[in-house]
Structure 1
Amino acid sequence: MDYLWVLVAFVFGFGVKQLGMPPLVGYLIAGFGLNALGVQPADSLDALAELGITLMLFTIGLKLDVRALVRKEVLVTSLGHTLIWVVVGTALLSLLVVSGIGAFAGLTLQAQLLVLFALSFSSTVCVVKMLEEASELKTRHGKTALGILVLQDIIAVAFLVVSMGKIPSLWAFGLLGLWAARPLLFRLLNRAGHDELLPLVGFFLALGGAELFSLVNIKGDLGALVAGMLIASHAKSAELYKALMGFKDLFLIGFFLTIGFTAVPTLDMTLTALALLPLLALKFVLFFVLLNWLGMSGRSSYLTSLALTNFSEFGLIVAHLGAEHQWLPESWLVIIALVMSFSFVLSSFGYRRAHRIYAGYKHWINRFERPEAHQGVALPAGADVLIVGMGRVGKGAYMALEKELGGRVFGIESDPERALALRGEGLNVMAGDSDDLEFWEQVCKGHIELVMLALPSQIEMRSTLEMLGLAGYRGKVAAVARYEDERKELLRLGVDVAFNYYSEVGSGFAAECGHLLPVPSFQSV
């Protein structure tokens, strides 16, 4: 039966990917399809789902800056959005209750408040996958979205404590001592090396943190998040993050499948879920207004809000708890599972087109920002080569070209902290997003002759090339690719030179070593 889940998940995930949709849409369809066929889930599927969530929160912790949680755009937006959402949403939901349509008929005020509270949260799983796909976890809007998600998780834990009467034990205060264990954890990471022990250390810390928090009656997922945050500043945290990515994504397939096993939906439940979908517009507007009011730029506010415009898996926990205590009819557990699944599909589609939409409506979107909030990148005079993405590949290209061109080489990095660190090393680097149309419009006003794309994601490459075209860039473009099919795709999209850097490493290595051989011998080779 385990093979059946793998087979069906692969078939549907592969099928929707060929249609240009995210594979998670296929996994959701697979779960509901298996449930409709009468397939019963085993405990192993739930265990995979829980492990996927635990690893995801641990990897979020590896990328999270604790200071981001107390920034006004995170703290005020999280609390303000939840309060306004419940009040305004309940007023809108009451109109449907009064109408007596379908499952809305007879819904008590207590049940309405519970439904709106369940739908107030955004999906950590969905948002993180979208941001990872676009390589935007380190951008300003990515960090803001992650901070809001973490605070929502804390609000969720507080709700569970109050509603279930599960008060943390006195031993929970001992968790404050985890900070003192950081030097020991750092030594453990240093000695783990770079092979299979490194991801195993990640599992140990993620599961250990979850288990430790569970022992003192605190939601275990929060422990995995804290464990990641404890070692986020370590030099190997990025390497550990990459080592766990494949495991996390694989186990999260179990999570998407389990959503479909909630129950078999009826037509009435499906129509009720569809009637709730327009609330997504309210969620987006509230986030957008609050973030603009708090001083974020129109673009950052728009991207953050769009990423958070979905319903959370936490809604299932709230609905299940409400049904157990008879606060909510059991049918609403299925309805919330459906509306959450629908929101995942819409959110995944919408965010893949986020930068294209902004390019078309940027003047209207930016009307709502404060005058001092607008962000821009001013390129220095004399810059001829622009390297986009200052990771290992981009930085290596920068250092090589700087020897020849000096100050005519310029770098752009989406992570503001990394950009600051590189400037500290004396590199000519500024923070900016590669898929920002306004940035490329500014580039076109200068004399950039060559743009070199050293971005980690093929999706981000496509988006950047699209923005270059919309901005009217006429210079040369070079890019790197991980695989041969990606390299060919970049060439089809108009890149002048595309390097498969796995194969180019070998050529570069040979060129660097050529002088070690006698000239005749080397030439004969």
Structure 2
Amino acid sequence: MIEATWIAFAFVMGMAVRSIGLPPLIGYLAAGFALAAAGSRLGIGPLDSLILDHLAHLGVLLLLFTVGLKLKPSALLRPEVIGGGLLHFVLSSLLFLPVILLVLDPPWQQALLLAIALSFSSTVLAAKVLEGKRELRAFHGRVAIGVLIIQDLIALLVMSLASGKVPSAWALLVFALPLLRPLLFRLLDASGHEELMVLLGLLLALVIGGYGFESVGLSAELGALAFGAMLAKHPRAGELANSLWSIKEVFLVGFFLQIGIGGLPDVDTLIFAALMALLLPLKGALFFGLFLIFRLRARSAFLSSVSLTNYSEFGLIVASVLLPAYLVPLAITVALSFVISAQLNRFANPLYERLAHRLIPLERNIRHPDEQPVSLGDAQILVMGMGRTGRAAYDHLAHQGWNMVSLDSDPQVIQLNGEAGRHILFADAEDPVFWQRIEMPAVEAVILAMNDPEAKVISTRKLRDSGFDGLIVSHAMYDDIAQRIQDAGANRTYLTMSEAGAGLAEHVARDLRARREG
């Protein structure tokens, strides 16, 4: 009965906050506080809390396993990621420490751990926001996710050092784990694409990684992360992470319910959360300044910083292990930061356009890692977006002898296409500075093959505003999107699935004619 109550409360509160544009996590925390307030009437006892604790622990392990699946050295071994992440961790911890000592007056060791917990940004919120805006693989999205992974690694190190656990001699076997990578790759290949793959992920994250590390005196969280990292280079690592996403999210609901049930906020807690919310702009400004120091352009630095301007659910995980007495103040602080960050991210691009004239002069006058092209030279056809559709269009036209150039905002896509011999450059179609600077004197046609419909509309409008009178062709999944692109100035928009069906039918008709003639 009590499980049904948990689910009902979590669903109603999650749906309520989502309907006003806020992350459902805030609703789950609110559901936990509501359950705490009505605990005696609902009959929530120690056994029920123990079950919820177990579910919460499983959610944390799955979260860390999926973080490990994203641990690719190429995304982390960048100066702006490592340098920006480490410097921000140190500086923001020093910024928060005096405020914590002044408001809560804890022992300085506990105050330092609280400051460290608040220095982290939310992996879950940033990933969801960037994914929702189709910016997860853009340059600024990759920088933000890279910094978040650095922070997650720091959090694990802090938990391991502060917990005071002494590993057993068997823990040395951890150094032999890389030898298991070929076996793990074969298991993932053999598991298919359905329930066996999900079970393999659960086995590695919860049993072998979590329980296995715990049994030799190491952190279960570290074990889950380690086994995820060993699979990070497998081509299907992303598929495995996606298959575990829903299960992880359901278990993490238990984590946030557990925090709320732990106690109701008092006046001091609310004052502390309000003060920490006032410090959020300083946290974002610190990220922005550090990214500029590491040679990012103002736009990339601004958008990455906005994604990171929040407090982290990972800070709650650290507190749940090391500072259980301060879990409720931290939970309120994190929830309030999510409310602010969700609204800030919603208007990030328009906000940058308003502030661009003040932010661009702050850029360092040297080559930036996200520098965009000024001229496309003598290219005749431009392909924007080099996913499967863009690559197919590029190769078909290049084979016919056209002079081609392509643009994409994903550094990995650029690297892979460059290695394949395609002429590809970095560019962000939603960046107004790009459209102000770009020169394409010989371009006669533009193919819009990006995934994001909004980017296609913006690109079409910017092309026409710049005086381009050549051919603009796009593809779209739905009729209303196709109409929006054409209203912006495109000559023609093809419906992807309709064209695929028509192409398939044409192949069938051609083969049938050939059989009859033969």
Please indicate, yes or no, whether the TM-score normalized by the shorter chain is above 0.5. yes
The answer for the alignment partner of 1:218 in structure 2 is 218
State, as a whole percentage, how many aligned pairs show the same letter. Answer: 35
Match 1:461 to one of 453, 461, 467: 453
**In angstroms, what is the RMSD of aligned CA positions?**
3.4
Match 1:56 to one of 47, 63, 66: 63
Matched, 1:287 2:259: no
Matches within 5 A, 1:273-312: 273-312=273-312
Q: Check whether the contact 1:297–1:373 (CA below 8 A) recurs between aligned residues.
A: no
CA distance in 1, matches of 2:457, 2:29: 31
Query: Alpha-carbon deviation of 1:339?
Result: 0.5
CA distance in 2, matches of 1:175, 1:402: 50
CA distance in 2, matches of 1:356, 1:364: 14
Match 2:383 to one of 380, 387, 391: 387
CA distance in 2, matches of 1:169, 1:160: 17
Query: Alpha-carbon deviation of 1:521?
Result: 9.6
Comparing 491-500 and 125-134, the one that deviates more: 491-500
User: Can you list the C-alpha shifts for 1:90-145, whole angstroms capped at 9, x where unaligned?
Assistant: 34455xx3xxxxxx265554454343222112222222322333343433333333
Consecutive aligned runs of 4 or more in structure 1 exceeding 6 Å deviation: 519-522
Matches within 5 A, 1:395-410: 395-403=391-399, 406-408=402-404, 410=405
Shift in alpha-carbon separation, 1:373–1:242, aligned structure 2, 3 A: same
Query: Alpha-carbon deviation of 1:368?
Result: 2.5
Q: Aligned pairs, how many? A: 499
CA distance in 1, matches of 2:37, 2:494: 47
Shift in alpha-carbon separation, 1:89–1:357, aligned structure 2, 3 A: same
Letter of the aligned partner of 1:125 in structure 2?
V
Q: Check whether the contact 1:16–1:26 (CA below 8 A) recurs between aligned residues.
A: yes
Shift in alpha-carbon separation, 1:182–1:468, aligned structure 2, 3 A: same
CA distance in 2, matches of 1:30, 1:499: 46
CA distance in 1, matches of 2:511, 2:420: 31
* SS in structure 2 of the partner of residue 412 of structure 1: strand
Q: Check whether the contact 2:209–2:224 (CA below 8 A) recurs between aligned residues.
A: yes
The answer for the alignment partner of 1:182 in structure 2 is 181
Q: Check whether the contact 1:28–1:259 (CA below 8 A) recurs between aligned residues.
A: yes
Letter of the aligned partner of 1:510 in structure 2?
A
The answer for the alignment partner of 1:200 in structure 2 is 199
Query: Alpha-carbon deviation of 1:44?
Result: 5.0
Q: Check whether the contact 2:37–2:264 (CA below 8 A) recurs between aligned residues.
A: yes
Matched, 1:376 2:376: no
CA distance in 1, matches of 2:150, 2:481: 40
Query: Alpha-carbon deviation of 1:343?
Result: 1.0
Q: Check whether the contact 1:435–1:464 (CA below 8 A) recurs between aligned residues.
A: no
Letter of the aligned partner of 1:412 in structure 2?
L
Query: Alpha-carbon deviation of 1:341?
Result: 0.8
Query: Alpha-carbon deviation of 1:449?
Result: 4.0
Matches within 5 A, 1:439-454: 439-443=434-438, 447=443, 449-454=445-450
Shift in alpha-carbon separation, 1:113–1:490, aligned structure 2, 3 A: farther
Query: Alpha-carbon deviation of 1:16?
Result: 4.1
Query: Alpha-carbon deviation of 1:337?
Result: 0.8
Matches within 5 A, 1:50-449: 50-93=57-100, 97=102, 104=103, 106-207=105-206, 208-320=208-320, 330=325, 332-374=326-368, 375-383=371-379, 385-403=381-399, 406-408=402-404, 410-443=405-438, 447=443, 449=445
Q: Check whether the contact 2:170–2:216 (CA below 8 A) recurs between aligned residues.
A: yes
Q: Check whether the contact 2:377–2:440 (CA below 8 A) recurs between aligned residues.
A: no
Structure 1 residue runs of 5 or longer lacking an equivalent are: 98-103, 325-329
* SS in structure 2 of the partner of residue 406 of structure 1: coil
The two structures have a TM-score, normalised by structure 1, of 0.82
Query: Alpha-carbon deviation of 1:413?
Result: 2.7
CA distance in 2, matches of 1:48, 1:418: 38
Query: Alpha-carbon deviation of 1:223?
Result: 2.6
Comparing 396-405 and 143-152, the one that deviates more: 396-405
Letter of the aligned partner of 1:453 in structure 2?
A
The two structures have a TM-score, normalised by structure 2, of 0.83
Query: Alpha-carbon deviation of 1:277?
Result: 0.8
Structure 2 residue runs of 5 or longer lacking an equivalent are: none
CA distance in 2, matches of 1:36, 1:502: 52
CA distance in 2, matches of 1:490, 1:257: 43
Q: Check whether the contact 1:64–1:146 (CA below 8 A) recurs between aligned residues.
A: no
Comparing 41-50 and 75-84, the one that deviates more: 41-50
The answer for the alignment partner of 1:2 in structure 2 is 3
